[in-house]
Amino acid sequence: MGVVGHQRGGPADQLVRHLDLVCEIELLELIDELVDVTDLLPARVARFAQGGPASFKLTDLHAGLLDHWTTTLATSYPCNNFHRMSQHRDGQEARFPALRLTRVARTRSTQDIVLRAARGGADEGFCCIAAEQTAGRGRQGRVWVAAAGTALLASVLVRRFPRVASGIPFAAGLALVDVLADRHGVTAGLKWPNDVLVEGRKLAGILCEVERPRTGQDRVAVVLGLGVNLTVDRFPDGIAAVSLHALVDRPPTAEELLVAWGRAFAERIAALERGGLAAVLPDWRRCALGLGEQVTVHGPSGVVKGVAVGVGDDGALLVEASGQLERFLAGDVHLTPDTG
């Protein structure tokens, strides 16, 4: 699926490339949906055989394809989603733009959509929000579980110079804490690296995946995945989690929360541009949970148990274990059972 252009290097050629990217993303998403439909067919056919022709309806097969078409193709890809950003020197990066939303009713993962868009040249601020994910992922390969329409499920593309990129996960977590406090009166904390907890229960998680710059490019592409429980009534056994509707009288819609987060994130990105990671770490430390407590860290080199003594100036988690100070730039932290 593609579009043929006649001008090279001009605005028309850019538009052609952008439309090609749109077509590619849409085609891959529809293929994902068809795979899901195929998975459902055996059970549907069995019900058809038992119930007779009167119980078998085309609309009963899967509503997701139609939902995907009407909510995505008709409204989600205005051409200005792909306006090329002007070039800025290091230290003079543009302010983080308003989010340009791409809405899908159902997808395997919003991360996959935005990663593909990043590889295709989409600009900073490109965002995909879904009502449902069938294979959403969290850190350490976990699956993010949420019934359709009960959570904010979104991914956002950020393009920044490497010196700023290291602070993006911290800025993203702080931005969500800011919104929860300022707009909803909810006090939340941050468990390293980026789980958002309220009274020891997980309200949200943020996944950060980095696409290294290609030859000749000077900015890295960072894809931030946000999952926030909004109206989740029940969680799997053994999961200490909470939903926003249990904490406030009127929880925001997924899109309302995402837009508010985008504004707060822009403020945190501006601070990063001015002062680097040091500009956001003090606030992050004030929100940090588990410091001074026993933790278990599943890191790249194995499992370490000790006391979380702080967060270094480079964002590393510092853990004292067996008389030595261990540093973690990646990993999964488990606090003591009474704190989440």
Q: Does the pLDDT value for residue 271 go beyond 80? A: yes
Q: Distance (Å, rounded) from C-alpha 340 to C-alpha 330?
A: 19
Q: Which fold has domain 76-285?
A: BirA Bifunctional Protein; domain 2 (3.30.930)
Q: Distance (Å, rounded) from C-alpha 252 to C-alpha 244?
A: 9
Q: Does the pLDDT value for residue 258 go beyond 90? A: yes
Q: Does the pLDDT value for residue 179 go beyond 90? A: yes
Q: Does the pLDDT value for residue 218 go beyond 70? A: yes
Whole-number CA gyration radius for the chain: 22
Q: Cα dihedral sign for 173, 334, 227, 254?
A: negative
Q: What is the pLDDT of residue 245?
A: 97
Q: Does the pLDDT value for residue 1 go beyond 80? A: no
**Runs of H (alpha helix) within the chain:** 11-51, 58-61, 64-68, 110-119, 162-165, 168-184, 254-275, 281-287
Helix axes 254-275, 168-184, angle to 10 degrees: 130
Q: Distance (Å, rounded) from C-alpha 177 to C-alpha 237?
A: 26
DSSP letter string over 13-59?
HHHHHHHHHHHHHHHHHHHHHHHHHHHHHHHHHHHHHHH-GGG--HH
Which comes out higher in pLDDT, residue 14 or 246?
246
Structure tokens given for 32: 């994902």
Residue 91, CA atoms < 13 Å, CB-side half-sphere: 0
Q: Does the pLDDT value for residue 336 go beyond 50? A: yes
Which comes out higher in pLDDT, residue 19 or 248?
248
* Residue 264 per-residue DSSP state: H
52: left (phi over 0), alpha (psi -120 to 50) or beta: left
Helix axes 11-51, 110-119, angle to 10 degrees: 150
**Runs of H (alpha helix) within 212-305:** 254-275, 281-287
* SS3 of residue 106 by DSSP: coil
Which residue spans of the chain are classified as CATH 3.30.930.10? Answer: 76-285
- Portion of the chain with pLDDT greater than 90, in percent: 51
Q: Distance (Å, rounded) from C-alpha 140 to C-alpha 168?
A: 19
Global confidence as pTM: 0.73
Which residue spans of the chain are classified as CATH 2.30.30.100? Answer: 290-335
Q: What is the pLDDT of residue 298?
A: 85
Q: Does the pLDDT value for residue 86 go beyond 80? A: no
Which comes out higher in pLDDT, residue 37 or 297?
297
Q: What is the pLDDT of residue 142?
A: 55
The residue type found at 252 is: P
Summarised one tens digit per residue, pLDDT across range 4-58 is 444 455 656 655 555 666 556 655 555 555 544 443 333 333 333 333 333 222 2
β partners of residue 319: 308, 326
Q: Distance (Å, rounded) from C-alpha 136 to C-alpha 103?
A: 15
Q: Which CATH number fits domain 290-335: 2.60.40.10, 2.30.30.100, 2.10.10.90, 3.40.50.300?
A: 2.30.30.100
